[in-house]
Amino acid sequence: EAGSGARFLIKAQVTREESLFLTTYAKMAEHTLALQDLMKARTWIRSAAEKGYVGAVVTLANAYLNGGLGFSEAERKDPVESARWIKAAAEKGHAGALIFLVDRYLGAGAQDVEALGWVRKAAEREYLPAVEALAQAYRDGGRFGLAADMGEAKKWEAKAKALKLKSKGKKR
């Protein structure tokens, strides 16, 4: 189930001062959105994103992917810009961004080493679709440039089974 790994939490390492500063930016963005001043909200959200507020990064990436925030027709649905912001959020450890990025790679049938890095990162954080993709890649060989390796395949298959049991509330 896509998004099932969103339950895990990854904390960004920021100082208290940085956290308060970034939270203030986010609150200003939310306030201007509530007032329907999309252009001002976009300015606040972009500013917060550029300063590292991960929630703003994800919001901006989503706006580039799906439109919104007062973007012009030319700016809407820019998957390249969206991917740039999503990668920035994933690099900062945002669980939702990591899952979104991995789901895009898996859905597109990505085969490259960059995709492998993101899939492995998500699998290590117990995101089931990534764990299953690694198990299959090692079982079959070829995907992500991996050679078939039954030992690795069995390791990831066992992890997938454990995660499925865990999600059903059962003990091993």
Q: Is the pTM of this model over 0.85?
A: no
Cβ density class 85-98: b for 16+ within 10 Å, e for less: bbbbbbebbbbbbb
- Closest-CA residue to 104 (of 50, 54, 61, 70): 61
Residue of 33 and 134 predicted with greater confidence? 134
Site of tokens 């050679």: 147
Query: With 80 as the cut, is the pLDDT of residue 6 above it?
Result: no
- Closest-CA residue to 95 (of 67, 57, 149): 57
Q: What pLDDT sits at residue 46?
A: 83
Residue of 105 and 14 predicted with greater confidence? 105
**Of 5-14, 44-53, 110-119, the least confident:** 5-14
Query: And the tokens for 44?
Result: 């606040």
E strand map for 124-163: none
The span from the first CA to the last CA of the chain, in angstroms, equals: 21
Model pLDDT for residues 121-156, shown as the tens digit of each residue: 999 999 999 999 999 999 999 888 899 999 999 999
Calculate ∠ Cα 38-41-47, nearest 5°. Answer: 140
Quick check: 88 and 57 in contact, CB under 8 A? Answer: yes
Site of tokens 């100082």: 15
- 125 Cβ contact partners less than 8 Å away, ≥ 6 residues apart: 5, 8, 10, 95, 98
Residue of 64 and 12 predicted with greater confidence? 64
Q: What pLDDT sits at residue 111?
A: 78
Q: What pLDDT sits at residue 2?
A: 39
Q: What pLDDT sits at residue 171?
A: 53
Query: With 50 as the cut, is the pLDDT of residue 4 above it?
Result: no
Q: What pLDDT sits at residue 132?
A: 94
